[in-house]
Amino acid sequence: MASQDITAHSGSKYSNRVILKTLMESSDGGLGLVGQRIVIGGWVRSSKEVRKEPVPPPPPIDNGIDKTRSKEVSCVEIIQSRIPLLRSIIKVLGGSGYTVREKFESVAPKPRPPPRSTVYLLVTDGSCVASLQVLVDSSIVPPSQLLPTGTCILVEGVLRQPPGQGKHVVELKAEKVLHIGMVDRDTYPLSKKRLPLDLLRDYSQFRPRTTTVASIMRIRSALSFATHSFFEEHQFLHIQVPTITATDCEGSSNMFQISTFAGKTDKKEQSTIDATEGVSLEAIKGALKEKRNLVENLKRSESNKEALVAALQDLRKTNELASQLEVREKIKSETSVKTDTVNMSEDFFSNQMYLTVSGRLHLESYASALGNVYAFGPRFQAEKTETAKHAAEMWMVEIEMAFSQLEDAVNCASDYFKHLCKWVLENCPQDMSFVAKRIDSNCIDRLKSMTLCSFEKLSYTEAINCLKQAPQVAENTFETNLEWGVALTAEHLSYLADDIYKKPVIIYNYPIEVKPFYVRLNDDGKTVAAFDIVVPRVGTLVSGSQNEERLDMITARTKELHFPTEQYEWYLDLRRHGTVKHSGFTLRFDLMALFITGLTNVRDVIPFPRSYGKANN
């Protein structure tokens, strides 16, 4: 097979290297390419060096020479051995003016070459769970350059079957090393084995080199592809909605404001703010009073001078800190005044703009013209929380369907969820096997049950009544009192899905107060056509609704909530001109990856997590 044929077989069109997945996960495990010359590239996952036994010298040849002599003596050696005798003879004969130079220098023994060895490397290129064993002889590259974990190599060699029985179906015997990307063992964080996931978050640039994070990201990629394939199959159009918006799409969200005026505080002033952040001026003033009293007492008493000097130094430092805090408060006050009086027309945008928390309102514009549409992208919420199910930036899949009602959105969301579970089972078997081995032993069975089970469906009122009968309510272990009209907490929803029904639960017809302003009001005047899909382990995965298409109803709702009318005029126009009944939902994509893998913290399934107080790159 020619090299170009091997490359074609590997699926690597834009590189001459063979992608390891096509080799390691092929039906024969790569045996079909045994004997072929290939190029592979990747990173060293583990390594070991095996030294070869030195070859013993050949036995002496019997050519008739006296065997009692240990070795032949050369003429040079004979003359060298007689030099002391010649010196003595010349001295006796009175030849004191004569000298004999030693023109024969001793020959230094040749240094022995270092013992040869073979380096065994397990190399991964990130395309699959399995690694390829690569053998490199020390005569090709010094072993010290290849052994450290994380070293990048590009190797050309011949694929072969390992001698004897072992766990490797094939291995690569290197003939050329085309590239080496070395690492510094002292500073490379993955030199230590098995770093916990929470520590790996501090090294997001290196996280994907670990087997666990690499598997999670391949599963996440498969979920992304499955999303597009599902909506393509059902004739949805993919629409890119804006990340920057002037509209609060939920009506009561914590939003990130965007402004080019931000961060223009003087550097010296900003350093003062940073240095004293987290220190209370009131607390320092109280401490200052106590330290002054201590100094006065020491002056009046007969205490040693060293104690008094130390107390005075402490008092001086506290005074300096108090002065810095006063400056900080003054700077913050002035900055607040500047922000309140700033002329937004001089900013990059002429009005206040934010990072969007949802794309559903903008999707309605296109659903009202194109029918069924969906968006897929990051959404932002400035909530100062460190819960395991929330990050400041999370990816959402949002859909909007014209000429549809609540039940249509529920059915679409259920089918989409099952499609994702089935897709991962069929297309990520090796990664799911690894997840089952290392993270969650029940993950595969859980996904299989999701594709087969029917979801439990109950109204908000039924959910409240069901929870009131739970033992937790009788024992007062729920933190929030269960009264009709309150928002169901994560604790309530988890109890329904994990403990009572042990499968996904669809809750619909929520009180108007707990859902966004745009949700359609039901005929009872108290509830709205909204729904949530709650799944075991994760909680609320999908939130959806039939949206209000009636102009008078949506206008009354925005006035009731005192929304700035100018922000929502464009949205109300959709009701004024060619209104249509429509519904949709949002699936929290990161939580879907969390559900699939069985992990517990959403930051571990996000490539570059951003959360409160933590964004390093």
Question: Is 412 a residue whose pLDDT tops 80?
Answer: yes
Give the CATH number of the domain where residue 38 resides. Answer: 2.40.50.140
Please name which of 206, 69, 234 lies closest in space to residue 150, comparing C-alpha atoms. 206
Which amino acid does the sequence have at 5?
Answer: D
Question: Is 275 a residue whose pLDDT tops 80?
Answer: no
For the ranges 135-144, 194-203, 384-393, the maximum mean pLDDT occurs at: 135-144
Q: Supply φ then ψ for residue 256, to 5 degrees.
A: -85, 120
Same domain, 426 and 520: yes
Q: Could you tell me if residue 380 is inside a domain?
A: yes
**Least reliable range by pLDDT among 64-78, 117-131, 382-396, 571-585:** 64-78
Q: Could you tell me if residue 107 is inside a domain?
A: no
* Three-class secondary structure of residue 89 per DSSP: helix
Question: Is 281 a residue whose pLDDT tops 80?
Answer: no
| 556: enclosing H helix or E strand | helix 551-560
Q: Could you give the number of structural domains in the chain?
A: 3
Which of 341, 370, 401 is the last residue in one of the domains? 341
Structural domain of 133: 3-51+113-191
Question: Is 476 a residue whose pLDDT tops 60?
Answer: no
- CB burial of residue 273 (10 Å; 0-12, 13-18, 19+): middle
**Least reliable range by pLDDT among 187-196, 329-338, 449-458, 524-533:** 329-338
Question: Is 100 a residue whose pLDDT tops 80?
Answer: no
Same domain, 330 and 373: no
The overall average pLDDT reported for the chain is: 84
Give the CATH number of the domain where residue 478 resides. Answer: 3.30.930.10
Q: Could you tell me if residue 100 is inside a domain?
A: no
Q: Could you tell me if residue 402 is inside a domain?
A: yes
Which of 286, 309, 341 is the last residue in one of the domains? 341
Same domain, 279 and 387: no
Same domain, 540 and 456: yes
Q: Could you tell me if residue 90 is inside a domain?
A: no
Which of 289, 322, 341 is the last residue in one of the domains? 341
Same domain, 275 and 295: yes
Predicted pLDDT at 601 = 95
Same domain, 484 and 446: yes
Same domain, 360 and 507: yes
Same domain, 253 and 283: no
Same domain, 244 and 291: no
Q: Could you tell me if residue 397 is inside a domain?
A: yes
Give, in order, the Cα–Cα distances in Å from 337 to each of 324, 333, 334. Answer: 20, 6, 5
Question: Is 268 a residue whose pLDDT tops 80?
Answer: no
Predicted pLDDT at 272 = 52
pLDDT tens digits, residue range 34-92? Answer: 999 999 999 999 999 999 876 566 666 655 555 544 445 555 555 555 555 556 665 55
Q: Could you tell me if residue 430 is inside a domain?
A: yes
Same domain, 335 and 387: no
- CB burial of residue 357 (10 Å; 0-12, 13-18, 19+): buried
Question: Is 148 a residue whose pLDDT tops 50?
Answer: yes
Q: Could you tell me if residue 88 is inside a domain?
A: no
Predicted pLDDT at 2 = 44
Same domain, 446 and 560: yes
Q: pLDDT-derived band of residue 343, with 50, 70 and 90 as boundaries?
A: low
Q: Which residue has the tokens 């669809």?
A: 506
The residue with greater pLDDT, 421 or 264, is: 421
Same domain, 239 and 124: no
Q: How far apart are CA 507 and CA 533, in angstroms?
A: 7
